[in-house]
Structure formats: C-alpha cells, structure tokens
Structure 1
Amino acid sequence: MPLPDISVVIPARNEGAKLAPTIQSIARTRTTEARVEFVIVDDASIDDTVACLVAAVPELLKEARIDIQVHRLEEQQGIYKTRNHAASFASGEILFGTDAHVRFSEGWDELVLYHLAPNRVLSGTTAVPGSPFRGYGCDLLIPFMGTSWNNGPVDGVAHVPIAPCHATVMPRELFNRLGGYDSGMILYGAGEAEFSIRAWLQGADVMVVGDLLVEHEFKPKDVLANFIDEVRSFWIHNCIRFGFLYLSELGCMQMLRYYSLQYPELFSEALHRVNESDVWQRRAFLEEHQRRPFQWLVDYFGMKNQAGGEII
C-alpha cells in the first residue's frame, strides 16, 4: 500500500527569504518515500516574500518527491484564516501545519506516519535554536485563556491539552470535520488553543511526540513586544471569545474580571467586538456537536486556575 501524501501548510507574512531554507530543510530530513507538498499562503505581505520564494522554486523542486504551491491573499486575514486557506489548497491525506522559520528533526515523516491515527492530532516538540529548551505542547491557562509550555519531558507520546500552530499534524479529514481554525479569531492570539480544545471536546486526542522536534525561530524580545502591542486589542478579543465559547457562566465572569483589571483601556472595545460577533451562535453550535463537556477536559488533565484553585 502506498504511503499517504503529506501536505506541509505554511502561512506567511513578511517572511522574506526565510521560506526557501525552511522548505529545503523539511524536504531533506525525510526518511520515507512519502511525497510531500508545500502549500504556502502569503497573507498580503508588504515585503518580497513571494518574489523570494518564486525565485527559489526551480532549485527547490530538484529535491525528490516534493511539490510547491504558492498562493497570495490581497488583504491581510491573520494567521488562523490564512492557515485555513492553506489547508483548503492541500491535497495530501495528512496536514502538517507549521511556520516559515522552522527546522524539522531527521525522520519527522516516519514519526508522523507511525503515530498518526484517524482521530488524533499530533503535536511536535518545540525546540529553540542554540537552547536546551523543549516545549512538549502547551497547557491552558484559565481565566487568561492563554497558554504555557509543557516542559515535560515526554518519552514516546503523551496526551497534551494544546498543540502549537507551528507543530500541529492531523489527517486532513479530521481538520475538515473539526471545521479548521475558528474564523472568528482576529489576526493573532488564542486560535491554536481553541482549536485543540475543540478537537478534544469533539472526541479527538491531542498527543505530543517527544522525538518529533520542530526547531522554531521565535521573534527577538523587542520585536515580539512591539508585535504584541500592535495586536493586543485583537488578542484580548480572541481570548474573551475563546472563554465565552467554553467556560461556565461563573468562569466567564472570572475571565471578564481578569481582563477588565489587566487591560482597562482595551477591555471595553474588545468585549464590544465579541458581543457583536457570532460568539453565542458559535457556542450553541459547538455544544451541539461536542462529545465531551469542557469539565471532562478539566478533570482529565487536573487543570487548575492561574492561582492554583479550582476552575469554576
């Protein structure tokens, strides 16, 4: 039986010349005969991202058993909608969602093919160049509705609440059945956590693979701080939306209190934007389709709130 194809889906915005080395590295670290396609969607970059990639394609295609698709959005959609666009163009049976500035460990494809199952999301282990850091998926922080790294270690595979966007693998059929990333999330923040929680509640498993390393080049601290400042109002919106989708009424009140105290200058605008959205229709839809209640997930992972208390 032929091995299934793998589609590596990458959203990109203002990534310049970083994409070509990423593609080359991923292609060269395979150890199986699986065909791999790269689906790149440029999120309305204002630099030379597409030009750099197109110029590199003839050389990249000399790598055996790869194909490359390049698509461009004319208006910025944000990381989650761009990931959905990339997935919609993919033809492989398996989706490996990642970023434009990563390196995969040798034999990544063999690990994916061995551990993946029809109702399973895999998380790669996050590494940082030149650092001993390892992130074995992420934990959920409540009422912040953000994430923290699970520092493991993990020998083999283990259940984890959240798979990070740059290291998320699943059957394409499962991605489609889950509905992709929440299109109500704006630009950046909370979308990867919401997707993994939704996968859990709809009956899938999320598992981190200890040996599947994804070396990720994170933004320098000053660049990251400026970026977060630019997207903070949208990020707060996304976290509140995330909480409204899954938390109890008391949990939602706790979350709102947290954000009103932490970000009083941005809170009202974010809350208004959430209330003007489809959040309550979306919650009703999710509750109709989920097989597990949110409390099941809390109990399964023994989740506590950020103060170490019970989640209400």
Structure 2
Amino acid sequence: MSPVSIIIPCKNEGKFIKQTIESILDTPCQLPYDIIVVNDGSTDGCCTFLQGSHRKSLSKVKLVNTTGLGSANARNLGVQQSAGEILVFCDAHITVEQDWLEILIEGLLEGGAGAVSPGISNMEVRHAVGYGMTWGEHLEIEWLESTGDVAEVPIAPGGCVAVKREVFQDVGGFERGFQVYGHEDAEFSLKLWLFGYRVEVNPSVVIQHHFRSHHPYEISMDQYAHNALRMAMSHFSATRLGKVIALYSYLEDIEQLVSQLVLESDVLEQRRQYLKRRKYDDDWFMDKFQIPF
C-alpha cells in the first residue's frame, strides 16, 4: 500500500491539536503513515507537547514551525515536508473513527476519484453531519445531505480531504496567493473539477469536527475578500468575477483590493495558464451542480 502523509496546519489550537493527534495515533490502522504538523506561528504553546522529551512516543509526527504562511500555504509546506504518495489534509480540531483512513484511500486507489472526503460531524452536536459542500446564490457555503452512497460533490471540506500526491501537484496544490484564511477548500475543489478530476464524499466514514464560534487568530474581511477575488480572477468568467466584486462592494477599499490583484500579483498570468489547460469552465461546473451563481 502507498505510504500516507497526514498534514495538519495549526495555529493557536489550544488543546485540540493534541486531541487530534492522539485520536489519529490511537485509532488502529493497517496503513503506513506519518503526520506532518505545520505550526504556523502559534502563540499559545499548543505544539510544545511535540518537542523535547515527549517526542519518543510521537515518532510518527514531524513538527514544522513557520511564522505565518496562512492556511493554504501551510498546507503546501506540509506537502513539501512529506513523503507520502497519498496526502490527507486534516484540521487540527477533529477526531477520527476506525478504518477512516483505509476507506478514504480506497476511493482514490480503486474508485478513481481525484479527492475524497468523509462526512463531517459537529463534535458538539453529533447528529449534525455534512456530506460535502456547495455554494449558494451569494457564494456562501452550504452543507449537503448524504445520498446514502459515495457521491460527487462540488466542494470537499478542508477539515478532512484525501488526494493523491500526483493529482495535488498536477493542479498546483492550494492557492499560493491566498492570505491568512478563507476559500482554500473551495478553490482547491473547483480547480480539481475544472482540471478534469472528480471530487467525492464517502458517507461510510464520519469524522468529528469542532466548529468554532470564532477563530483563535485575527482574520480581516479584506483578507477574506482578497482570497475570494483571487479565486474568481483565476477561474471565473468576467460576469461571475463582477458578481464577486459586487459581493464585497461594501468594503471601503474594494477598488484597491481589485487593483492590487490585477497590477501587483501574478493572478492574470495564472488565469491565462489555467484557462489554457483546464478541461471544463466555470459554466460547466455551476451547471453540473446547479449552483445559482
């Protein structure tokens, strides 16, 4: 079986990162795997248990310290530091169940999917389970219900998603121009679909996820809007790009955000490259999943 690398970005996760790693390590697994924790500038000491004398019992875990790459690029760095042919991206506030890894990876190796996610349950309200995500008419995230079987979904939740390394590299990984947090999983899933890969959810696996009422680090609306605009400039038609700009028109510096992306970043060149090599366009994607945007 191909070796697996579990990549966990982490910033100010408190007790949850330790619980997440313990859950993974304590769950029996027949597959060889390692865990890459990317500590992206935490200030709460949440990763100190991965250092010093505690290391002996955590031989499968590699700690990588950074100073604030942001959620997308912390994941990309984790890939660079990993060796697995299968990459499994997990949030730092989950718990897993028996056979979770084996079942997810089976969908990649035998089912031919480009990426596979499990059902995601609310750790505090366990009957609330989402099976993949989609967009609403204002590009807001909406959770999907289970169809009872493996199903294609527009967006694989970033809380847990498995992908082959070769597929990850083929699409260029997570968006390198993103700031801090926002839209990482949506952009990655969209890119997979447009480049010809299938994204699925397998309801046979459900992981528990802690849904936070607020982030443990600062995120500005400008940064969140930057990511949405960069995603739109990379993948959307001019009409849809205009709709995304309109969504954030209430921001005082929206014009500056747009001009900075156009004039000071590589997004237009990236757009040209993506449009050249993708197999489908955003109209196809929106029609396929009946997304009213």
Shorter-chain TM-score above 0.5 = yes
1:227 Cα offset (Å): 5.6
What SS class does the counterpart of residue 95 from structure 2 fall into? strand
Q: In structure 1, how many angstroms separate the alpha carbons of the residues matched to 2:184 and 2:19? A: 27
* Match status 1:137 vs 2:124: no
Give the equivalent residue in structure 2 for 1:107: 99
2:195 pairs with 1:202: yes
State the partner residue of 2:273. 285
Structure 1 CA distance for aligned equivalents of residues 57 and 173 of structure 2:
32
Q: What is the match of residue 49 of structure 1?
A: 46
Tell me how many residue pairs correspond in the alignment. Answer: 288
**Mean Cα displacement is larger for which, 251-260 or 195-204?**
251-260
Gaps (5+ residues) in structure 1? Answer: 62-66, 306-312
Task: Give the direction of change, closer, same or farther, for the CA distance of 1:41–1:186 in structure 2 (3 Å limit).
Answer: same
- Tell whether 2:239 aligns with 1:250: yes
Q: In structure 2, what is the equivalent of residue 64 of structure 1? A: none
Whole-Å Cα distance in 1 between the matches of residues 199 and 133 of structure 2? 11
Contact 1:16 1:49 in 2 (8 A): yes
Q: 2:11 aligns with which of 10, 13, 32?
A: 13
Q: Deviations over 1:201-229 (max 9, x none)?
A: 1110000011221211121x2x34x867x
Structure 1 residue 98 and structure 2 residue 90: aligned?
Answer: yes
Q: Distance in 1 between the 2:175 and 2:17 partners?
A: 25
Q: How does 1:3-42 map to 2 (within 5 A)?
A: 3-30=1-28, 32-42=29-39
Paired with 1:227 and 1:24, the residues of 2 have a C-alpha distance of: 24
Q: Cα distance, 1:271 vs. partner?
A: 1.9
1:88 to 80, 83, 104: 80
Percent of residue pairs bearing the same amino acid type:
27
Change (3 A) 1:72 1:227: closer
User: In the alignment, what sits opposite 2:153?
Assistant: 160
Counterpart of 2:258 (choices 264, 271, 275) is: 271
* Structure 2: gaps of 5 or more residues: none
CA offset at residue 268 of structure 1?
2.9
Match of 1:148 among 125, 133, 142: 142
Aligned counterpart for 2:57 among listed residues 42, 56, 59: 59
Q: Please report how far the alpha carbon of residue 157 of structure 1 lies from its aligned counterpart in structure 2 after TM superposition.
A: 0.6
2:248 aligned counterpart, secondary structure: helix
Structure 2 CA distance, aligned partners of 1:4 and 1:54?
Answer: 28
Instruction: Give 3-state SS (helix, strand or coil) of 1:59's partner.
Output: helix
TM-score (norm 1): 0.86
Say which SS state the counterpart of residue 264 (structure 1) adopts: coil
The 1:54–1:240 alpha-carbon spacing in structure 2 relative to 1, beyond 3 Å, is same
Matched residues in 2 for 1:281 and 1:138: separation?
29
Within 2, Cα distance between the matches of 1:54 and 1:264? Answer: 42
Which of these residues, 169, 172, 189, is aligned with residue 176 of structure 1?
A: 169
The 8 Å contact of residues 123 and 211 in structure 2, kept in 1 or not, is answered as no
Q: Which has the higher helix share?
A: 1
